[in-house]
């Protein structure tokens, strides 16, 4: 069966450019929702674990997944596993878990499009001639779900989200509020992670 699940125009605006991977993630999300019988997530009840890593160019999928499902980074409903694979597990505590991955045949066929000649030369998607981009996007829309995706139920999949808490305290050094689970103790006083001298390399550190 083929269900194109074409993203709405605002999805491309939100994403920033036209490319094939945002629509692929969108379709993956829509199919997983249909399979599990869940609606676009309003609150905090549907989780997605993309296996995407960083430093490879297909990460745009994750925006499509968020747009389709409502499982967003802002709601802490999505977390990458950093396996570096084009797959994601969709999990609803009452409805179960399904893993969707792109088939190697689909990835190989898509890779033949001119879009990727530009990408491999380092040309950003917004700078690629529009007909070249539309060609690969339209090809993706025409492919069957079976050709694109391997689908696996994950009956043993378990995930327990962090328990929500509004408890917070002020860091004894910088005076800024810190939510409880992130407070550290230094010389017997509560401190935030940066003031604790913790030195994991972080952006801006």
Contacts for 13 with CB less than 8 Å, ≥ 6 apart: none
Nearer to Zn ion, 79 or 174 (CB): 174
Tell me which of 32, 60, 68, 136 binds Zn ion, using CB under 5 A: 60
- Taking the C-alpha atoms of residue 97 and residue 71, their distance in angstroms, rounded to an integer, is 14
Rounded to a whole number of angstroms, the minimum distance from the CB of residue 123 to Zn ion is 13
Rounded to a whole number of angstroms, the minimum distance from the CB of residue 48 to Zn ion is 17
Rounded to a whole number of angstroms, the minimum distance from the CB of residue 157 to Zn ion is 28
Nearer to Zn ion, 32 or 62 (CB): 62
Q: Where are the beta strands (DSSP E) in the chain?
A: 47-50, 87-92, 96-102, 149-153, 168-170, 177-179, 184-186, 189-191
Angle between helices 21-36 and 61-69 (to 10 degrees): 40
78 binds Zn ion (CB under 5 A): no
The mark string for 151-190 relative to Zn ion (x by CB under 5 A, - otherwise) is --------------------x-xx----------------
In 3D space, the residue among 65, 108, 115, 120 whose CA is nearest the CA of residue 90 turns out to be 65
Rounded to a whole number of angstroms, the minimum distance from the CB of residue 196 to Zn ion is 8
In terms of phi and psi (left: phi > 0; alpha: psi -120 to 50; beta: otherwise), the region of 197 is left
Rounded to a whole number of angstroms, the minimum distance from the CB of residue 34 to Zn ion is 23
The gap from C-alpha 103 to its chain's centroid, in whole angstroms, comes to 18
Tell me which of 11, 19, 28, 77 binds Zn ion, using CB under 5 A: 19
- Residues near Zn ion (CB under 5 A): 19, 22, 60, 171, 173-174, 192, 195
């Amino acid at each position: 069966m083929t269900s194109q699940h074409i993203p709405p125009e605002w999805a491309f605006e939100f994403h920033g450019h036209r490319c094939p991977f945002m629509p692929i993630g969108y379709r993956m999300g829509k199919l997983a929702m249909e399979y599990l019988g869940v609606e676009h997530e309003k609150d905090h009840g549907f989780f997605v674990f993309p296996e995407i890593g960083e430093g490879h160019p297909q990460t745009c999928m994750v925006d499509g997944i968020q747009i389709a499902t409502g499982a967003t980074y802002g709601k802490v409903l999505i977390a990458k596993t950093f396996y570096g694979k084009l797959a994601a597990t969709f999990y609803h505590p009452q409805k179960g878990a399904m893993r969707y991955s792109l088939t190697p045949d689909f990835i190989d066929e898509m890779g033949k499009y001119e879009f990727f000649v530009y990408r491999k030369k380092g040309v950003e998607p917004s700078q690629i001639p529009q007909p070249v981009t539309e060609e690969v996007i339209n090809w993706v829309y025409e492919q069957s779900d079976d050709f694109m995706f391997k689908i696996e139920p994950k009956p043993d999949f378990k995930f327990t989200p962090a328990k929500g808490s509004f408890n917070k305290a002020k860091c004894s050094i910088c005076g800024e509020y810190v939510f409880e689970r992130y407070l550290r103790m230094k010389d017997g006083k509560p401190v935030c992670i940066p003031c604790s001298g913790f030195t994991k390399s972080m952006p801006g550190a």
